[in-house]
Structures are given as C-alpha cells and as structure tokens.
Amino acid sequence: MASWRELLQSSSLARIDAQVLLLHVLQKNRAWLIAHDDEPASEAEAQAFATLAQRRRDGEPVAYLLGSREFYGREFAVSPAVLIPRPDTELLVELALARAPQGGAVLDLGTGSGCIPITLQLERPDLTVSAVDLSPDALAIARQNGQALGAQVRWLESNWFSALGAEQFALIVSNPPYIHAEDDHLHQGDLRFEPSGALTDGYDGLRHLHTIIATAPAHLRAGAWLLLEHGWDQGAACRELLQAAGFAEVHTWRDLGDNDRVSGGRWWPATDSPSPHLASGG
C-alpha cells in the first residue's frame, strides 16, 4: 500500500488542494499529516481520496467537495445551490459594520449561503438582520448556516423587495449577480460549477444593480446607506446609477486586490416642506 505522501504526490493536483482533500477524508489536521505521511494509507480512505481527487481534476470547486468555505473567520456550509463566499465580499461586510446604526434594521438582498447577514448579526448582535433570496435551495443552506453559527436572521423567499411590503431599513447591502453574460470567466474554473443565476443577470451585468438602486429608496430610512458589491469595471456605472437615483455621499471602495469592488450612497428623502420660492407664491 502506498503511503499518504505517495498518494498526495500521485494525485496530480495542486499540492494545497490535494492536502486539503486528504485531510477532509482523514478528518485530521495538517500537523497530523506531517507526522504520519510516511505511513501506509488505508484502503477505504485511499479510495475516498481518489474519488475526491478525480472530481477535483474534473474541475469541481474545492469548497463544494468539502461542503464548506471560511468567510470572515467562520465556516459556512456551501452546496452548488449557492455562490462560494469570496474574500472580496469581506469589504462589503466591513463597510456595512461601520455604517449600520446601533440597533438598526439591516437587509441583505440575494443572500446565497447567508455569509453576509450571519456575519453582520454575529459581529453586531444589536442589529436586527433580514435576508432574502429568490432560491429556496439557497435559503435552506442559509438557514442551516444561521442555525449552526447561532445567528438570529429572518430569512425570506423574495425577488429583491417583493416580499417586504413597505418595510424600511437602516442599511441595505447586496452582492447581486453582476457578471456580464459574455464574460469568459463564466466558463472558467470554479464559476462553471456555481449557480449561474447567482453570477450573471444574463445580460450586461448591471441589470440587477440597476433594479436594486432604483427600488431601494422606498425601503431606506432617512440617512440609510445602500452598499453594493460589483465587478472591478462597474464602479463608474454604479456611481452614475446611484447619483441618478438621488443618493448622496456616493462613493466607490477598493478591495484588497486594489479593484473597485463596492459602491454605495446615502438616502435622504425629499423634504415635504415647500421650497422657499414656491412658498412665496410667485
């Protein structure tokens, strides 16, 4: 029987992928493997590793093979029903944490695995957090994550704001599908296995961003922020949409890779009091 080390070397996978998959099969940590990698592999575990290694060679994302991915220091269950959480999205979380008012009602649109609202609620237990998704399968994963991590989040099946009536929030965030339908990335790497409805609008990538920006004001309290994740080349377009919709303090923030990643603005409803020259009756 081959040793664990020989098994890893013969897998023709990236070293880190092979290690992570083997540790998952063995339910051991890296320290254990370093101390035991010259021991003979057991038949059943070698077979389980071979199956995962083949799926990985066929392109399946490591996160789906493991069934989980780390986000903001916590482990989230994932399945092919949800987008795999990206480190880029931690920027959206940090901006939201800095802008959510004490005790405020917060909403996440298109929540997927639930990594955003769960993180917000656990980092800020004062917040009342709601999250919506169009996909019941995604919501099942999000609920499972909320329970496993002990987060109090209200989950709703909703097409953006459709299930929310006239409800208003002190902060709204979203990481909507924003990839252009013709972007080659959709046919490369992990993205081939992710739900296409979570990645692209099937159009120019701006359609859902536009819908959210146009419909969010009715659901924002005075002074509330709308924060949206988007593609590296969509900052200017998002700022234009936010400005056209009447948002103030419109800004784009860059992620750790120095790409435009999140744009947002603050909502101040028009005041009811008549403007001075109208009041003067002229």
Residues that bind ligand GLN (CB under 6 A): 83, 86, 88, 175-179, 191, 199
Nearer to ligand GLN, 25 or 133 (CB): 133
d(CA 32, CA 81): 33
Q: How far apart are the first and last CA of the chain?
A: 95
Backbone Cα Rg of the chain: 22
Cβ pair 175, 229 in contact under 8 A:
yes
Residues 6+ apart with CB under 8 A from 225: 96, 99, 171, 172, 264, 265, 266, 267
For residue 136, give both structure tokens.
């019941």
Nearer to ligand GLN, 37 or 190 (CB): 190
168 versus 252: smaller Cβ distance to ligand GLN: 252
Give the span between the Cα atoms of 169 and 107, in whole angstroms. Answer: 7
Instruction: Tally helices (H) and strands (E) across the chain.
Output: 12, 9
Measured between alpha carbons, how far is residue 79 from residues 16, 45, 113, 194, 201 in Å?
21, 23, 8, 9, 20
Of the two residues 41 and 194, which places its CB atom closer to ligand GLN in the complex?
A: 194
Q: Which is nearer to ligand GLN, 53 or 81 (CB)?
A: 81
Q: Which is nearer to ligand GLN, 41 or 133 (by Cβ)? A: 133
